[in-house]
Amino acid sequence: MTARIVSIGTALPDTRVSQTTLRDLFAAQPGFDRKSQRLVGAAFDAAAIDTRHVVLPQLAGTEVEGLPVRDGDTLLMPPTGARNDEYRRRAPDLFAAAAGRALSGSGYGANEVTHVVTVSCTGMFAPGPDYHLVRDLGLSPTVERYHLGFIGCAAAIPALRLAARIVGDDPAAVVLVACCELCSLHWQTSSHPDQIVAASVFADGAGAAVVASGNSSRDGLDLDGFATHVTDDGEKDMAWTVGDSGFEMTLTPEVPRIIGREISAIADDVLGDLSAVDAWAVHPGGRSILDRVENALGLDAAALAPSREVLRRHGNMSSATLLFILRDLLADAERVEGDRVAALAFGPGLTVEAARLTMRRTGA
């Protein structure tokens, strides 16, 4: 039984901040020499991001109570526990907002959801986001719940794969998938190049999808197949670890190069004939990653426009980002029945996750 994404919902924090504001704030940190300041300017300006949304209004210069992350123009380094407490306060509402929108657009009622799959790598607590969605959306207390944690930017595809497996085993299943990442909670005020690059791209947001049987009369995206590929190297180039002052990102310049070097063979293996692909949903880990994918696969400039637009408007929201791209493709009136969609995302390992989807326009 083919599973179908029948609806996608997204949610963003209220605070929207320009890339230039964040650049200037980060470059002004005490101890940053001229070389570090030039690196900050280069990284932020080259990111192809205009704005990002964050759960910390303090980053935009608004004084509010909450996590102490700023003293004037000086960014502070709260302990991991305080950052995680803020995640626990902020994440449930964003999970619920995105999931509620996906559910309201799906044609299914809250009482019809049979499974919940939540995704996040920027915080943890129990009972977790899966439990809160059952409570906040009024789902049945018998709903089966699964949480995928610490998979990183690629995690939306494994979550959709799990949903597809559930529906394939039980055509009556209705699976709610929800991703929420609050990357801004883990800003590191370090002049190390890895931390500068991470600060230049990551943002906050949530995305959700309702996955049900392909027999649905609603428009959507059929989930036709999935694949995972671990590259030959990159284990030390993209990593996400828990430190004493937040979660620490390792993101070296080798990441785009590894992806560019290996993505062609991987895409041929997991997606087949690339000329048959009508639309692409590629996780915008950064502008350079999109450039490398575009060049390696010989794509025209328009192919990755949906990914670049999400990056420009929202930055890299880790696992939630791919759902924003799929949402835009689903809403695109130029996408017609039978269009073949290829999705790619990249996570620690270095791991490439891929999915094949088909656009369905039922006319209902």
Catalytic residues: 153
**How many CA within 13 A on the CB side of residue 116?**
31
**356 is written with which tokens?**
């094949």
Listed in sequence order, the residues at least 6 apart from 337 whose beta carbon sits closer than 8 Å to its beta carbon are 359, 360, 361
What dihedral do alpha carbons 215, 217, 218, 220 form, nearest 10°?
30
In the chain, at which residue ranges do the beta strands (DSSP E only) sit?
3-11, 15-18, 51-54, 70-71, 74-75, 115-120, 144-149, 175-182, 204-213, 220-230, 238-243, 246-251, 279-282, 340-347, 351-360
Q: What distances in angstroms separate CA 312 from CA 89, 203, 316, one per listed residue?
A: 28, 11, 9
